[in-house]
Amino acid sequence: MPKDLASLQSVVLAALDDLKAVDVKVLDVSRLTTITSVMVVATGTSNRHVRALADAAREAAKGAGFTVLGVEGDSDAEWMLVDLVDVVVHVMSPQTRELYRLEDLWSALPRRPKAEQVGDSA
């Protein structure tokens, strides 16, 4: 894992831990997609907690000098996504997390053929 990616992941996980995120999972999706390298999935205990966790992840990353591309889902805070380029953070209510089961979805996807992986030339 590149140092900057490891640092970003560490900053995000610390921010989520500080605010008591529930059931935090780190998914290495680098061989499954080109949109990001890592997805962090966490649960908040209420909509207010979901919003606070997403805000904390965003502010911690920004404060450490990382790029924040955007935040989605703030209107109802059932599922908030924080796009930090190499790390995408999903913070969800318990019901939303159970419904979408992102960990199962991403583990079920087939890996990209080697020739299609970023940085490889055919």
Domain boundaries, the chain: 3-108
Q: Which two tokens stand for residue 13?
A: 């996980």
Q: Which two tokens stand for residue 41?
A: 């999935």
Q: Which fold has domain 3-108?
A: Beta Polymerase; domain 2 (3.30.460)
The whole-model pTM stands at: 0.85
Least confident of 6-10, 68-72, 102-106: 102-106
pLDDT in tens, 72-115: 998 889 999 999 999 999 999 999 999 999 998 887 666 656 55
